[in-house]
């Protein structure tokens, strides 16, 4: 591997080859970048992924349909609700199962809270990689409240395993609604404070504005999705444009990067789209809690899940972009193929193209602004 990369890198021997990772404070997990630098300027950065490959897709072929749910948590453990939901929807489509409305609402609530939790980590680590440690811990502090809420809801703080084929595992616990609303009241004001603390700090803005610009065409060409795509100015969100679950019932905005302080598609746009999305998610959770329908939270699911042969694709707007589950059934109790398409994987592919000309410090900003999570790349 290294030899192969080095052969591509070493043009005239004047450059320095840096092994940026796998153990590096700002690679967000175990990722390696082979960086060819000329002083502080990067000639080329080639990502080398796979350190966290856990063969989750293979496991999906070995355990039964319901048994795979806890493994989906591990696809993206920073925002584990989305893989849960994506897989559940895919199997439900295979089974042609109708999910009761209350379950749809609970899915939306849990996912949007999870999106907030994930974005808090994302914007926090962005600040940390730029060199400000305090905002990171402020984000973690707010996430902690969310983790407590999730823990009360489904018993786990990280690997939720909350969604089930046909619904969700638990109804809301007592008092949870009020706790959540109280948190959201606090959180909306926290977002304002966070912007004052870091988002529009001039040093921070100068570090991100106009850095690592990804134009819209390049973003679609490389299959970027989610906040990364919207940061490039493409107005696209699955929740609004191909609605699933309970989303058609809520009113919310889709923040799109428009060059808040620099160029459209720069690192700051990707960062700030996430900040704005947190506010929108908060709106969705409020609406969902207000309009939460009564009824069952789990559909009648056959005891043995054994869909007829066929294939289904489910697309979910995850915190890191589009998460698609492609589940192929051959008529047995175990899937013939479970494919997970994740936002981080495609986001990582673009580093190769964007990195030339950046400085070493900008590479850190680029990685942080793409908000990649190593397990999601490697699965």
Considering only residues 126 to 185 of the shown chain, the ones binding another protein according to CB under 8 A are: 127-134, 137-138, 141, 144, 151-156, 159, 161, 169-170, 173-174, 185
Q: Which is nearer to another protein, 1 or 14 (CB)?
A: 1
Per CB under 8 A, the list member of 11, 200, 253, 357 interacting with another protein is: 200
Residue with tokens 């479970």: 338
Chain positions 306 to 325 lying near another protein, rule: CB under 8 A, are 308-313, 315, 322, 324
Q: Facing residues of 37 across strands?
A: 16, 42
> In angstroms, what is the minimal distance from the CB of 197 to another protein?
4
Q: Which is nearer to another protein, 299 or 328 (CB)?
A: 328
Does residue 259 touch another protein according to CB under 8 A? Answer: no
CB 83 within 8 A of CB 318: yes
Q: Which of 67, 65, 71 is nearest to 93 (CA)?
A: 65
Q: Which is nearer to another protein, 217 or 291 (CB)?
A: 217
From the list 77-85, 104-112, 266-274, 336-344, the region that binds another protein by CB under 8 A is 336-344
Residues sharing a CB contact under 8 Å with residue 28, sequence separation 6 or more, in sequence order? 125, 367, 368, 371, 372, 373, 374
Number of residues near another protein (by CB under 8 A): 106
* DSSP for residue 195: I
Per CB under 8 A, the list member of 12, 14, 202, 294 interacting with another protein is: 202
Distance (Å, whole) CA 354 – CA 263? 15
Does residue 341 touch another protein according to CB under 8 A? Answer: yes
From the list 115-123, 251-259, 288-296, 335-343, the region that binds another protein by CB under 8 A is 335-343
Does residue 253 touch another protein according to CB under 8 A? Answer: no
CB 35 within 8 A of CB 42: yes
Does residue 14 touch another protein according to CB under 8 A? Answer: no
From the list 62-70, 103-111, 243-251, 276-284, the region that binds another protein by CB under 8 A is 62-70
Phi-psi region of 355 (alpha: psi -120 to 50; beta: other; left: phi over 0): alpha
CB 178 within 8 A of CB 172: no
> In angstroms, what is the minimal distance from the CB of 78 to another protein?
17
Residues sharing a CB contact under 8 Å with residue 241, sequence separation 6 or more, in sequence order? none
Per CB under 8 A, the list member of 82, 87, 190, 271 interacting with another protein is: 190
CB 170 within 8 A of CB 153: yes
CB 224 within 8 A of CB 346: yes
x/- track of binding to another protein for residues 91-130 (CB under 8 A): --xx-x------------------------------xxxx
Show the DSSP H helices in 96-223 as ranges.
101-130, 134-154, 176-194, 202-208, 216-221
Residues sharing a CB contact under 8 Å with residue 138, sequence separation 6 or more, in sequence order? 124, 190, 194, 197
Does residue 15 touch another protein according to CB under 8 A? Answer: no
Q: Which is nearer to another protein, 153 or 285 (CB)?
A: 153
Pairing of strands 167-168, 335-341: unpaired
What order do you get walking across the sheet with 335-341 strand by strand? 310-318, 321-329, 335-341
> In angstroms, what is the minimal distance from the CB of 313 to another protein?
5
> In angstroms, what is the minimal distance from the CB of 365 to another protein?
9
Distance (Å, whole) CA 291 – CA 373? 33
Does residue 373 touch another protein according to CB under 8 A? Answer: no
x/- track of binding to another protein for residues 268-307 (CB under 8 A): ----------------------------------------
> In angstroms, what is the minimal distance from the CB of 265 to another protein?
16
Q: Which is nearer to another protein, 62 or 291 (CB)?
A: 62
Distance (Å, whole) CA 4 – CA 222? 23
Q: Which is nearer to another protein, 241 or 291 (CB)?
A: 241
Does residue 221 touch another protein according to CB under 8 A? Answer: yes
């Amino acid at each position: 591997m290294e030899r192969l990369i080095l052969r591509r890198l070493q043009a005239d021997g004047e450059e320095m080859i840096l092994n940026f990772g796998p153990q590096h404070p700002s690679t967000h997990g175990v990722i390696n970048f082979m960086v060819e630098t000329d002083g502080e300027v990067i000639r080329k950065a080639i990502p080398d992924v796979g350190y966290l490959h856990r063969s989750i897709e293979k496991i999906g072929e070995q355990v039964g349909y319901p048994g795979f749910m806890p493994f989906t948590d591990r696809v993206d453990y920073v925002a584990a609700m989305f893989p849960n939901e994506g897989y559940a929807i895919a199997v439900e489509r295979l089974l042609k199962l109708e999910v009761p409305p209350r379950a749809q609402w609970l899915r939306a609530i849990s996912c949007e809270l999870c999106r907030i939790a994930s974005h808090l980590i994302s914007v926090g680590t962005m600040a940390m990689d730029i060199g400000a440690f305090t905002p990171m811990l402020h984000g973690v502090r707010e996430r902690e409240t969310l983790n407590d809420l999730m823990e009360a809801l489904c018993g786990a703080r990280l690997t939720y395993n909350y969604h089930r084929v046909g619904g969700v595992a638990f109804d809301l616990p007592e008092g949870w609604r009020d706790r959540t609303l109280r948190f959201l009241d606090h959180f909306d004001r926290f977002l304002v404070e966070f912007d004052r603390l870091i988002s529009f700090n001039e040093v921070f803005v100068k570090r991100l504005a106009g850095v690592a610009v990804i134009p819209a065409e390049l973003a679609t060409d490389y299959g970027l999705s989610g906040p990364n795509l919207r940061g490039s100015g493409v107005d696209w969100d699955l929740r609004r444009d191909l609605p699933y679950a309970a989303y058609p019932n809520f009113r919310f905005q889709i923040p799109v990067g428009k060059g808040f302080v620099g160029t459209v598609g720069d690192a700051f746009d990707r960062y700030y789209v996430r900040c704005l999305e947190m506010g929108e998610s908060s709106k969705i959770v409020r609406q969902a809690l207000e309009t939460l329908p009564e009824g069952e939270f789990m559909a009648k699911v056959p005891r043995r899940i054994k869909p007829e042969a066929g294939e289904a694709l489910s697309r979910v707007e995850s915190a890191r972009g589009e998460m698609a589950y492609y589940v192929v059934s051959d008529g047995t109790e175990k899937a013939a193929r479970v494919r997970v398409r994740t936002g981080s994987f495609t986001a990582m592919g673009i580093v190769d193209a964007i990195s030339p000309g950046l400085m070493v410090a900008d590479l850190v900003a680029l990685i942080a602004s793409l908000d990649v999570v190593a397990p999601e790349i490697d699965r």
